[in-house]
Amino acid sequence: MSNIKIWQMGLKNWAWMLVALSLLTIVYWGGIEQLIVRWDKQEEYSHGYMLPFLSLYFIWLKKYELQQSEFSPSWLSLFIVIPALAIFLVGEISALFILIHYSLIAVLIGMAFSIMGWPAVKPVLLPLLLLIFAIPIPYFLEASLSANLQLLSSQLGVAFIRWCQIPVFLEGNVIDLGVYKLQVVEACSGLRYLFPLMSLGFICAYLFDTAVWKRVVVFLSTIPITLMMNSFRIGMIGVLVDNWGISMAEGFLHDFEGWIIFMACMVILFIEMFILNKMTRGVSVSFFEVFGLMPVGVFPEGEVVTRKSSRPLYAIIVLLAVCVVVVNSLDTREEITPERKSFPEFPDHIADWTGGQNSLETNVINALQLSDYIMSDYSKPDSLPINFYVAYYQSQRKGVSPHSPRVCIPGGGWQISGISRTVVNSVPVNRIVIKKGPNKELVYYWFQQRGRLIANEYVMKWYLFEDALLLNRTDGALVRITTPVGKMENIADADKRLTGFLQELMPVLPEYLPE
């Protein structure tokens, strides 16, 4: 008789695992819903639907290894689960979904640790960590990353167009071909390739049967591959438009080109793996060998033994049950929304300045998801005008927040030629000089959040988190004033104009942006 022991979960153990997973789903349901919303609305995260199933599949591939492992439930799992649940509660109160999502993965790992112990968790840890790539990054980080990738992809794409002997001029992220102008919009930044390809690179690195450093190279290479191929796509569209017209950059053909480039990225990744594999082995190997997918053969017979119950899992079930009660009580907690005047009531006259309000397009309002706004041009005799803009958010709990002008400015073809942070009339501001061809403008902007005037976006995020916890408030706004620099002026003249307007503006704002 074989001495091999085949360990199996008893019916009682499966029942308790089902209870734990049910409670976990109830606790994290709000975060899971928000994940699905992001997967559905943003193409760069649409691969998130597949990753949980792939994670389960890779764990299933380890089933024979797990069946031969005698689980050793560990109380050390509570050192993972308790901090993770604390982070979850912080995220739930402040509606910082990224905390909720990462907490969910940590609790799953902690539960696995409580049932299996480290020796059995080790082979399935990477499949569990694969779930990280299903989590969207926060909107403000995504916007900043997208803007930087837009500019870099535009520059590299224009370099390719020039290499093809086509005259072209780049202004921000607007590619001027003379007859046609192409704008590298947010959707063309490369994020739609980057996040799915990074997920694929992680999977390939996990399956790659080779040294650890080569796996790391495969994963990290997804970033330059995405950047170069996206830039090539932009450049190729420019070449096609120059030869066959603007239809080459629109509709089905534009989308089809995107699919071709992503498939090309995958092919490059696979070729890289074969090259790295051949560098060590020096011999030709099959696709299945490179990916570690050779058949596992017939599992040997042995004595079937039922696993013992996991007491640490019982403790986690109790903790999750407590969290269910806490979450239900938090759901009844209404966020404080202070009284304020709406911006349609904002005065058209501020000292000597006279303004007239303008309207944003509906698609822009929907994209910004703001609660109220004002966009008005103020002028006075013998002075260039000032554009005054405020985006107000009654609540930032659902992840929506003001878009930084540093991110949005390059989208209109403007280039940032100078940026600094300073204090003007006791107001901390970001001071930006922007250029577009012969035109130059000066921009001041800051964040006005629950009585605080903040220039630093990351400090603003910290106070948002703090006030959500302590004050149960997340209202806030972005304030921006902009003026052109006249042909006969210098920057100091524009500074003086904005400083004077700011001095008259600040006493009026508190009625519309409550402290």
Q: What is the pLDDT of residues 79-113, one digit of tens each?
A: 999 999 999 988 877 667 888 899 999 999 999 88
Residue 385: its pLDDT value, please?
Answer: 92
- Average pLDDT for 327-345: 81
Residue 480: its pLDDT value, please?
Answer: 94
Residue 113: both structure tokens together = 């640790």
Residue 288: its pLDDT value, please?
Answer: 60
Reported as a pLDDT band with limits 50, 70 and 90, residue 445 is very high
pLDDT in tens, 344-365: 999 999 988 998 888 888 877 7
Residue 436: its pLDDT value, please?
Answer: 79
Q: Which residues pair with 56 in a beta bridge?
A: none
Q: Using a CB cutoff of 8 Å and minimum separation of 24, what contacts does 319-322 make?
A: 319/81, 319/82, 319/85, 320/20, 320/23, 320/24, 320/27, 320/85, 321/23
- CA separation for the pair 35, 332 (Å, rounded): 22
Cβ distance 274 to 291 under 8 Å?
no
- CA separation for the pair 309, 19 (Å, rounded): 14
- CA separation for the pair 20, 24 (Å, rounded): 6
Cβ distance 510 to 477 under 8 Å?
no
Q: Which residues pair with 447 in a beta bridge?
A: 454, 478
Indicate if the pLDDT at residue 293 is higher than 60: no
Amino acid at 163: W
Calculate the average pLDDT of the chain. 82
DSSP code, position 77: G
Residue 284: its pLDDT value, please?
Answer: 54
Reported as a pLDDT band with limits 50, 70 and 90, residue 1 is very low
- Average pLDDT for 172-184: 71
- CA separation for the pair 75, 14 (Å, rounded): 19
- Average pLDDT for 276-288: 63
Residue 481: its pLDDT value, please?
Answer: 93
Conformation bin of residue 388: beta by default, left when phi > 0, alpha when psi is -120 to 50: beta
- Assign 455 to helix, strand or coil: coil
Indicate if the pLDDT at residue 281 is higher than 70: no
Residue 117: its pLDDT value, please?
Answer: 81
Closest CA to 47 of 126, 142, 136, 176: 136
Contacts of residue 211, Cβ cutoff 8 Å, sequence gap at least 6: 280
- Spell out a b/e string for 490-504, using b for 16 or more CB atoms within 10 Å of the CB, else e: eeeebbebbebbbee
Cβ distance 313 to 73 under 8 Å?
yes
Amino acid at 63: K
Decide which of 422 and 300 is more confident: 422
- Assign 294 to helix, strand or coil: coil
Residue 469: both structure tokens together = 């916890």
Cβ distance 30 to 100 under 8 Å?
yes
Amino acid at 255: D
For the chain, helix (H) and strand (E) counts, in that order, are 19, 14
Closest CA to 147 of 180, 95, 185, 107: 185
- Spell out a b/e string for 12-41, using b for 16 or more CB atoms within 10 Å of the CB, else e: ebeebbeebeebbeebbebbeebbeebbee
- The domain ranges of the chain are 5-136+302-331, 140-288, 343-511
Decide which of 324 and 142 is more confident: 324
Reported as a pLDDT band with limits 50, 70 and 90, residue 499 is very high
- CA separation for the pair 148, 153 (Å, rounded): 9
- CA separation for the pair 207, 192 (Å, rounded): 23
Conformation bin of residue 190: beta by default, left when phi > 0, alpha when psi is -120 to 50: left
Residue 54: both structure tokens together = 């792939």
Q: 């209202």: which residue's tokens?
A: 475
Q: 């073809």: which residue's tokens?
A: 413
Q: 């089902």: which residue's tokens?
A: 18
C-alpha distance from residue 497 to each of 281, 380, 383, 489 (Å): 70, 11, 8, 11
Residue 314: both structure tokens together = 């019982």
Compute the CA torsion angle 211, 215, 221, 222 (nearest 10 deg).
160
- CA separation for the pair 259, 204 (Å, rounded): 20
Compute the CA torsion angle 206, 209, 213, 216 (nearest 10 deg).
-30
Indicate if the pLDDT at residue 258 is higher than 90: no
Closest CA to 513 of 387, 370, 380, 385: 370
Q: 């840890």: which residue's tokens?
A: 125
